[in-house]
A = this chain, B = another copy of it.
Amino acid sequence: MSDNDLLFMRRAIELSLENVKKGGGPFGAVIVRKGEILAESCNLVTVLNDPTAHAEINAIRCAARKLKTFDLSGCVIYSSCEPCPMCLGAIYWARINKVVFANTTSDAQKIGFADYLIYKEISLPTQERNIEFRQLLREEALKAFKAWEESENKIEY
């Protein structure tokens, strides 16, 4: 565990504490590249009325905007809590290489957050989930996939 890991995690925790004081969720995140903070945020779900505005998502969007790329390879994310499935998915899409976290999804569950439940739901087959799932028109939709495969001006991501 490097000193830098401690330093950046303390900043993520500080952001989480400050956010509670403002009435927001107890979550903070920092994205670091080449030893420097590139972006940081806290949970803004209730402030922005945006269910996707978790600290990690906000920080990823900010970092990508700064670097002008959707590829955050070489970055580390420090989150005051283990990322939920939405944020973990975003971390994979952004190609972030390392996740440092403090609180766990079980800790989050104990104060009323759904992270742990959502992890359980996502691992279930669609027909066993709490949300209703229905598949239709696959053949029609595959036309877009075929068009993508054949497209010459696509940017792969």
- CB pair B114–A148 under 8 Å, yes or no, is no
Copies in the assembly, this chain: 2
A97: which B residues are within 8 A, CB to CB?
131-132
Using CB atoms and an 8 Å cutoff, list the residues of chain A in contact with chain B: 1, 5-6, 9-10, 13, 16-17, 19-21, 23, 25-28, 45-46, 49-52, 54, 57, 60-61, 64-65, 67-72, 80-82, 84-104, 107-108, 110-112, 114, 117-119, 121-123, 126, 131-138, 140-145, 147-149, 151, 153-157
In the complex the two chains form, is A26's CB within 8 Å of B147's CB?
yes
Beta-carbon contact of B107 and A92 below 8 Å: no
Q: How far is the CA of A136 from the CA of B80 in the complex (A)?
A: 9
